[in-house]
Structure 1
């Protein structure tokens, strides 16, 4: 059989590789995280830009008020984690498609995941260790922060 002919439909399939299929799970992750990100991002935009006074309300005190509740902390962390992993997985797909040298591809993919991991770690630390009362305290928070 030459490469330009179609195999007989009754031809047995090639044996499948055993083990974890990372490409399949990456594909599924992209679909699920994409839907979740749409909900999270539009919720974020609605609360920040539509409710209340719109964009005029966003200042340091607004962020302090949002991060005072665990709900908004977890909302932003989930958006951060899903977005970074989604974007990194997309970049990994691009690297796999266009980089032909195995060594270069491996280095680039490792670099992508290391950078994503560091950004996830730093972003999570910022959200959960956010302290608005570090001097100098803005005058809008004078009543909240102890003197």
Structure 2
């Protein structure tokens, strides 16, 4: 009996687990950039295809939207005294999910108005920000990710 319990425990321990976090180590779908406080042009804009097959609600916090496994964009940022703001602009309802340099998840849906998302860091940290642009209703859509220090 003990042998069966031990064997069952080993099988459970060896079974693959579902990851609760997106894979920030993957190459970003739409590129990466390094910016320092005071960057120009401001805002920095990048075109992305928002959405994917992964439900962002499985992440910690109040995340929402369908996203891809890999980040859509990666920003390496050297902070200064200015705020750092990420926002989306699209004809569809988009969401933002950001894994910050502190390893925490920051999420938004609609704070930029008209179905667009915005995440603001009033005292940003230096480091890497992995950004996912999601779609609220599923599917994919064209979107602009804007990064600014002058909201």
**TM-score, normalization: structure 2?**
0.25
Q: Over alpha carbons, which structure has the higher Rg?
A: 1
TM-score of the aligned structures, taking structure 1 as reference length: 0.26
- Whose relative contact order is higher, 1 or 2, with alpha carbons under 8 Å and at least 6 apart? 2
Q: Which structure is higher in strand share?
A: 2
Higher helix share goes to which structure? 1
